[in-house]
Structure 1
């Protein structure tokens, strides 16, 4: 990329060649570049140019380790809250406390959750007394895109959202949301829809009824379900084979209209006695590859590390699984969300203390949740201090970017979403 791409108007100053100016700008943080948009039209044109944005983000990813965006409930107010954990390193001499990550959408329900994070964009599924709404948000440039309601929703009657996924499609440099919908009156009837940011519209994927969708348990609203890896959405479904209900991994390429089905790595682990058992096959993104963990805990759909587990990785070319590594048993720890730096997982340890008054009578139980990054290969723990959150948790990789949200709305402090979109009261 050079200054000639932007014509003569992009000659920024007479003292420095345009290429040099561009190289300087590529090294500046988002905050500075946002200010420079108001310096001149050539600067604004350059900083908004998709080629510059892509090159700037590529430089950030090369030079900056990923952050973790964590969502949970505040331990005192119980409000849904975001915290940002700064760059991860193997050994940190100074542990920086998590930063409060302001969300300007008035999140009031514990059902509100992160759908996904990609290239600096964060997709949120907002839930309050009005209903449900979806937004795509770039916190760095303070813009968000209200996602319109699907025109197909009303054709099915009473619906529930079983899962949502958000990701980047590198094949066409677009951002997409995949939504799974269940008809409340029948587990066998479902729909799959895709929203694309470039078109700002939904399209419906034809389904043959072969796979039943796994219903997200109401007691685990933040459990990771759908995973998007390199433009392909994956989730766990249930199908009937030889008169038995079996777990299967469903995949959908975001450029395609075709659902594909992948058997789990160990066949007998896929046999389903109850639909809840399918949710014990949990999917993760491991270094831009699909990873799978099988848990035998059926009571709360949590992955306790007391018994350890194997982590399998899918070769997306030949659609076969290989065992990546084995995690040794760790008593009292819960695998909460995701992997970072190839081998670090976010795990939680909940401690409860019974409190008594001066007469020795029981008053209440005080709970405290500690969050750690656990290196599943080395067995090392690194505590996440002062996060002020309690379970359930979500964690997603996040790095700032200049990526636009296709004519999004600017937002600085608080925004009334009812001005921009209509909450859907049917989708809970």
Structure 2
């Protein structure tokens, strides 16, 4: 019996990725259907909605292993066949929608300058597809004394249906009042397979190199350049290439250890007031200061040490 195509689509979109990879060999129409971008997006949207097709990737240097969280009876992690080979292995720094962004743990020296640049890769362990990003050198200023990677990040931008990688290089040069910063920021777009340079990023120092991607912008905890000097949250919007400070709630300041993340698609902040309490905040309406809402507070002394 021949089923209507919309019924076949609905059935196939409910299946795990491994089954779909096998079913591509059933016939040419099925192969074309399963690899069609519309179906891929449909399958992804359904997986996100019902929280399925979850895989935990573990690293035991230099190998990678995975645990299928949808298979309750899985007894041990299974080794992944990493398509990239390097004597020193690779580091995964972010993932989005099943796509993993990673770089080699070796790096290459850029031109005649002694600055290391890491090759970046995208890898989908479920579909066994991968891509090496084009190499982009560090544009070292003539008066730079030293430099290193200050920030990086990876995420999916639904407004443009595109995946973005960002790299922030921090150069220092001795000025009249001590060392000052010369930043270099580059953004990679998967749709164009190219890097572009962003100019004039006004923040001094990121406290965590890995950026959090939400609302089409990368976020870091940083020493802000505008306003009073102190820790805050800065963002780089990949739509307009503008760097902004994200306002903190009035009830908190920079006198705590801060970690940011994404919870339910919202920007979140974990505040560790050492030996006092740990609070989790959620920004319900992005960019609106008054929309920060405290989700819970932990004050058990026996637990607080684990948040250090």
Deviation at 1:260, TM superposition (A): 1.1
RMSD: 3.2
Please point out which of 29, 43, 67 is paired with 1:84.
67
CA 1:68–1:52: 2 relative to 1, 3 Å = closer
Deviation at 1:232, TM superposition (A): 2.0
CA 1:293–1:22: 2 relative to 1, 3 Å = closer
Contact 1:46/1:52 (CA < 8 Å) preserved in 2? yes
Contact 1:225/1:283 (CA < 8 Å) preserved in 2? no
User: Is residue 290 of structure 1 aligned with residue 267 of structure 2?
Assistant: yes
User: Is residue 169 of structure 1 aligned with residue 138 of structure 2?
Assistant: no
**TM-score, normalised relative to structure 2:** 0.79
User: Unaligned regions of 5+ residues in structure 2, if any?
Assistant: 109-115, 174-178
Q: Per the alignment, in what secondary structure is the counterpart of residue 203 of structure 1?
A: strand
Please point out which of 238, 254, 264 is paired with 1:270.
254
User: Is residue 207 of structure 1 aligned with residue 200 of structure 2?
Assistant: yes
Contact 1:71/1:113 (CA < 8 Å) preserved in 2? no
- The corresponding residue for 2:121 is 135
Choose between structure 1 and 2 for higher RCO, CA contacts under 8 A separated by at least 6 residues: 1
Equivalent-residue separation in structure 2 for 1:176 and 1:322 (angstroms):
29
Please point out which of 232, 246, 263 is paired with 1:248.
232
- The corresponding residue for 1:364 is none
Deviation at 1:39, TM superposition (A): 3.7
Contact 1:163/1:180 (CA < 8 Å) preserved in 2? yes
1:203-245 CA distance string (max 9 Å, x none): 111215x3102255xxxxxxx7311124221112213467x52
Please point out which of 197, 216, 220 is paired with 2:190.
197
- The corresponding residue for 2:286 is 316
Equivalent-residue separation in structure 1 for 2:226 and 2:248 (angstroms):
14
Equivalent-residue separation in structure 1 for 2:281 and 2:80 (angstroms):
36
User: Unaligned regions of 5+ residues in structure 1, if any?
Assistant: 1-13, 89-93, 217-223, 272-276, 298-305, 337-428
CA 1:42–1:70: 2 relative to 1, 3 Å = closer
Equivalent-residue separation in structure 2 for 1:177 and 1:101 (angstroms):
26
Equivalent-residue separation in structure 2 for 1:255 and 1:241 (angstroms):
22
Q: Per the alignment, in what secondary structure is the counterpart of residue 220 of structure 2?
A: strand
CA 1:200–1:95: 2 relative to 1, 3 Å = same
Equivalent-residue separation in structure 1 for 2:180 and 2:76 (angstroms):
41
Equivalent-residue separation in structure 1 for 2:163 and 2:266 (angstroms):
18
